[in-house]
């Protein structure tokens, strides 16, 4: 990100705050900028990361001789494939174990712990924000086991379920759970708060999540933790980075407080509107929704709210007689086997089980999270051999999530090289190039004409028991937009690749409930469109 783009980001913070998930996304962006050297300018008078690294190694050798640091295995230099992004020339890539005492914490037995000793457990730290929720001493905590010892200024890192992103800097000495690692850094050489930012940065968290072992209680292994790549700027720049992040986060938090108040009021009005609709009183719903929508931005925000309620199971009640998502999932697996035997479905790569860290929100117990390729499949590709109607990205009206009516009729000789993907009636297409434009639509009337789509689209043809519009509404929902944007690469034309798209997840309710949700969602979205027309008048 350039300085100009950063300024644009800061100038438009209020707008970003109003995007679902925007607050968290903003903070992750700032953290990435911080640890990649794009948040504050470099100053040659502050030295280099290499010089600082050598000072740190000298200090560690000294501490080792004094018996203050246990011997550690020598770690290999960070290789280029391990470097996930570029850093300034005066910075250095190094490893977490080269900067800290990772994995060599002092131990304390229960008999060593006095009543007024601070005893920190993972539950005392709020996930993601890393806010310290409470401080409990040994006399209050009660029954104790062996603990790790930490000191003031140690960075305390939660290695159990690291996707919860629990990292604090100790403001006092104490003891903590063995699932929290006290990381000590040489004072005056590494700013503890800078290291905390590194451990909370998106790339670090994502990489660690890939390295965890254990299904129910995933944790980071010591060797993997020590080898984690870390960026090392000069000490003076570390301090300036920490100060800048604190300033930006304070501003974001102020806006977030304002946003929460607005959302609370909006939720009340939406609830009243939904209650009116459930009683068949569309007039009441129209009145309350009109109180929410004063601008086009309000309408866009309300659409996102409706879509979130729809795909999270909050728009219609569940009915146990309709079955479960698990039962539907098993039916789909049987259909996949049948299609495979018939040669209609190519063998698919086995995708990993869905981790808890991938799940963006809670869904009803009768639902099931599935990978997108357990909801629908691709129909293959072919080179056009007769006249066909070509579906390019420009063929999608993204304001209505529909195809334009006048698709170009194309001959095989004039066919673009990207005209390859087969579609059919009910197929949902999703543009993987610049996906933030939300160029997605359902194919209709395909039986009347030869249609071929661009390779810029992901093709998802629903399995039996899944409604096309259910997939479409998920593609338009904030959580899916967030996922795709987070996995897109490229500057001018960001795109998500097939492997990342196929790993996306969608909630799976029973078919009958899908039908009711789609009907209610369509009704609400149509109401919002009607209200928008009144705005134009």
pLDDT value at residue 300: 80
All domains of the chain, ordered by start, with CATH? 48-233 (3.90.220.20), 324-509 (3.90.220.20)
Q: Is-contact 270 298, C-beta < 8 A?
A: no
pLDDT value at residue 283: 56
pLDDT value at residue 21: 63
Tokens of 55: 């000072």
Q: Is-contact 119 137, C-beta < 8 A?
A: yes
- What is the edge-to-edge ordering of all strands in the sheet holding 167-169? 167-169, 155-158, 180-183
Q: Closest Cα partner for 285 from 296, 274, 298? A: 274
CA angle 468/472/473 to nearest 5° reads 120
Quote the pTM value.
0.58
pLDDT value at residue 1: 46
pLDDT value at residue 171: 96
Count, residues in the chain:
537
CA pseudo-torsion sign 481, 484, 487, 488 = negative
CA pseudo-torsion sign 44, 46, 47, 50 = negative
Q: Taking the chain (537 residues) in consecutive chunks of 10 residues, what is each chunk's mean pLDDT?
A: 54 60 80 94 95 94 84 90 95 96 92 92 93 93 88 96 93 95 94 97 91 82 94 97 93 80 68 57 58 71 87 92 96 93 85 90 96 94 90 90 87 91 93 91 80 93 96 96 88 84 96 96 88 70
What's the maximum distance between 2 C-alpha atoms anywhere in the chain? 84
Mapped onto helix, strand or coil, the DSSP state of residue 181 is strand
φ/ψ region of 280 (left if φ > 0, alpha if ψ in -120 to 50, else beta) reads left
Instruction: Tell me the β-bridge partners of 454.
Output: 419
């Amino acid at each position: 990100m350039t300085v100009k783009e950063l300024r644009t980001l800061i100038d438009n913070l209020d707008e970003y705050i109003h995007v679902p998930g925007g607050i968290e996304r903003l903070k992750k962006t700032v953290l990435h900028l911080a640890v990649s050297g794009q948040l504050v300018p470099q100053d040659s008078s502050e030295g280099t990361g290499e010089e600082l690294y050598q000072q740190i190694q000298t200090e560690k050798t000294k501490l080792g001789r004094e018996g203050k640091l246990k011997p550690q295995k020598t770690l290999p230099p960070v290789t280029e494939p391990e470097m996930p992004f570029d850093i300034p020339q005066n910075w250095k890539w190094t490893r977490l174990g080269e900067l800290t005492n990772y994995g060599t914490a002092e131990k304390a037995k229960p008999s060593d712990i006095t009543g007024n000793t601070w005893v920190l457990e993972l539950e005392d730290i709020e996930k993601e924000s890393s806010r310290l929720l409470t401080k409990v001493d040994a006399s209050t905590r009660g029954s104790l086991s062996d603990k790790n010892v930490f000191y003031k200024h140690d960075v305390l890192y939660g290695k159990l379920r690291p996707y919860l992103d629990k990292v604090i800097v100790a403001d006092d000495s104490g003891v903590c759970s063995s699932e929290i690692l006290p990381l000590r850094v040489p004072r005056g050489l590494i700013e503890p708060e800078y290291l905390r930012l590194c451990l909370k940065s998106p790339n670090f968290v994502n990489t660690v999540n890939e390295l965890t072992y254990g299904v129910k209680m995933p944790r980071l292994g010591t060797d993997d933790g020590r080898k984690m790549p870390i960026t090392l700027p000069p000490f003076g720049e570390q301090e300036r980075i920490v100060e800048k992040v604190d300033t930006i986060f304070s501003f974001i938090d102020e806006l977030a407080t304002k946003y929460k108040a607005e959302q609370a009021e909006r939720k009340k009005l939406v609830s009243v509107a939904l209650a009116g609709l459930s009683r068949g009183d569309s007039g009441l719903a129209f009145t309350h929704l009109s109180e929410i929508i004063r601008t086009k931005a309000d309408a866009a925000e309300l659409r996102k709210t409706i879509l979130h309620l729809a795909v999270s199971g909050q728009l219609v009640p569940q009915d146990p007689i309709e079955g479960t998502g698990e039962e539907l999932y098993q039916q789909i697996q049987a259909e996949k086997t049948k299609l495979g035997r018939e040669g209609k479905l190519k063998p698919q790569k086995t995708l990993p089980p869905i981790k808890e860290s991938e799940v963006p929100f809670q869904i009803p117990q009768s639902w099931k999270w599935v990978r997108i390729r357990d909801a629908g499949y691709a129909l293959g590709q072919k080179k056009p051999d007769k006249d066909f109607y070509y579906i390019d990205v420009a063929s999608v009206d993204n304001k209505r999530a529909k195809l334009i009516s006048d698709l170009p009729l194309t001959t095989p000789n004039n066919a673009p090289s990207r005209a390859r993907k087969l579609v059919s009636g009910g197929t949902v297409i999703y543009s993987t190039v610049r996906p933030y434009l939300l160029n997605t639509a359902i194919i209709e009337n395909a039986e009347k004409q030869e249609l071929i789509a661009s390779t810029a689209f992901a093709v998802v043809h629903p399995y039996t028991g899944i409604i096309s519009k259910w997939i479409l509404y998920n593609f338009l929902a904030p959580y899916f937009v967030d996922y795709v944007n987070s996995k897109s690469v490229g500057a001018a034309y960001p795109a998500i690749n097939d492997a990342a798209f196929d790993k996306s997840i969608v909630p799976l309710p029973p078919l009958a409930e899908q039908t009711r949700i789609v009907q209610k969602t369509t009704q609400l979205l149509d109401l919002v469109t009607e209200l928008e027309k009144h705005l134009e008048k």
